[in-house]
Structure 1
Amino acid sequence: MSSPLDPESLRVGTSEREEAGRVLGDHFAEGRLSTDEYESRVAAAFEAKNRADLRALFLDLPAPLPSFLRPPAAPTPPQPRYAAPPAYRPAAQVPVTTSDKSKIVAGVLQIVLPFGVGRFYTGHAKMAVAQLLVTLVTFGLGALWPLIDGILLLVNGGQDGHGRQLSD
């Protein structure tokens, strides 16, 4: 039966040697190594055969270390394959402000003066102009639109030009 392989005896490749040289350069730039010491350690890094050879170059140096010499990160717990759906929460109740305009006044104005006066009252100027033009262009036959609109305002209410509910 074979014994487990010692990680320090693993052979290193060119990328590990180059990374060790870059990290040694960082330590040299920070003033931790003299020029002669830096040159000798970089030469030893490029001649290293295994991780133990490279680890010996960093024994007296603080972090950073080459990534392959750092201790392994703690394993993260496995995530569930399917996440549970979020719990249902009803939407926050937004306080509804009512308009100072009345749905009864708006509806009666639409019915009695069927050329958009009720819509001018509620603040819907574009719709009011459209109803006025339709009524004038069709010689009064277009008054059916403001009439129906007035009935709907009386029955269902509506909103003013700022999006607030018309008061009762």
Structure 2
Amino acid sequence: MSQQPDPDEMRVGTAEREEASRLLGDHYSQGRITPDEYEGRVLAAYEAVTLGELRPLFQDLPAPHPAYLAPRFDPPPFVPVYQRPAAVLPYSPKSKIAAGVLQIVLPFGIGRFYTGHIGLALGQLAVVLVTCGVGVVWPMVDGIVLLANGGTDAQGRRLRD
């Protein structure tokens, strides 16, 4: 099991030290720190070895701060659309009844074109054309499934009833 290293223990390089000094100069020019504070903080910035040693130099100052001192944003874990609760996702403006009926009445993937699943629709159309019409079974079964269970549009939103 791997553990994430403490960000404050990460070593800094010359570029990070110079950015900190440059931003401290901006704060000094705005009058937020005195000349003595500026000198002490810049000296501390150039002597810093880790991010944890740079962080206190900006704690009492407003933005701008060095970008590498910003809190890390860990995005929420990815949850596939089919595992998300239906109440969270908005409904599609498209109808499952229209999609299902189009699939059955015009079994060339027309219902899938309607829902925005272009790749699936082209696949169904190709199968119907290549098999000289025998492949209409796939779009028709797909239409029955759409009528029975519903489905989603190309953005993953549930089709309306």
With structure 2 as the length reference, what TM-score do the two structures score? 0.46
Which structure has the larger Rg over C-alpha atoms? 1
Structure whose residues are more often strand by fraction: 1
